[in-house]
Amino acid sequence: MERAKIRLCVEHPLGAGQAVPLDADQAHYLFAVMRLAVGARVALFNGRDGEWTAEVVEAGKKRGVLACLEQAAPQLAPPDLWLLFAPIKKERTDFIVEKAAELGCARVLPVATDYTNSARIRQDRLQAHAREAAEQCLGTYVPEVCDLQPLRKALEGWDPARRILWADESLVGAAETLAGLAPGPWAILIGPEGGFSEGERTWLRGRDFVTPVSLGPRILRADTAASAAITLWQAALGDWR
């Protein structure tokens, strides 16, 4: 069976013969925006049961029902990698969350630092961006996007088994790189546009589970740094090998 081109993330369990009801937003997208009709095929995933090909059996303006036909792809969970980042301008924060989902992060944690220039986020909107990114990149997993919290609070009680790879802009051009990192659960920490304060640098360097690294010979924008760090980690320790 040819893989359906339109993909939708749902909360409902998926399995052979399973009926999947649609909410009003999903029905609007499939039937008003994409112009699907009864008999059309849609790819469904829920982060647990892999991807399933489903057929439209009911189509209405505010509701609809799909029926699962067969599994198109197995469940593929991302590697155990989290991203901690300081929110920046709205569009670029959206970009960071989208790329974290596409590149294979399991969890996204926005953190407030001394120089963070965005005092609040819309967690629900960012979670929707992560879901849409997973739908578009053939992923079967949507990373959890947490609400904004202070960096120090986020690291209180941190499990030291999950090491943090800290992209420290003060090391630009230095020898500290991602080479030689040990496998295991990891997190990546990216700072705001103004970088980390001296107090934060001192505090982070005092954490045994934090490893400062250089991302190359140039200072990168925060959104570029996030994508670069995830890419390098994936190539060294993740599921790109």
Any domain includes 154? yes
Burial of 18 (0-12, 13-18, 19+ CB in 10 A): middle
| CATH code for the domain in which residue 42 is found | 2.40.240.20
Convert the pLDDT of each residue in 158-191 to its tens digit: 999 999 999 998 887 666 666 678 899 999 999 9
Q: Are residues 159 and 106 in the same domain?
A: yes
- State the residue for tokens 């020898």: 175
Domain extent for 54:
7-73
Any domain includes 134? yes
Q: Are residues 49 and 87 in the same domain?
A: no
Q: Are residues 47 and 144 in the same domain?
A: no
The pLDDT, as a whole number, for residue 240 is: 82
Any domain includes 29? yes
Q: How far apart are CA 139 and CA 80, in angstroms?
A: 15
Q: How far apart are CA 198 and CA 152, in angstroms?
A: 14
Q: Are residues 34 and 88 in the same domain?
A: no
Q: Are residues 212 and 157 in the same domain?
A: yes
Any residues with CB less than 8 A from the CB of 153 and at least 6 apart, and which?
A: none
Convert the pLDDT of each residue in 30-61 to its tens digit: 999 999 999 999 999 999 999 999 999 999 98
The total domain count for the chain is: 2
Q: Are residues 132 and 20 in the same domain?
A: no
- State the residue for tokens 């190359």: 216
pTM: 0.92
Any domain includes 170? yes
The pLDDT, as a whole number, for residue 202 is: 96
Q: How far apart are CA 210 and CA 97, in angstroms?
A: 22
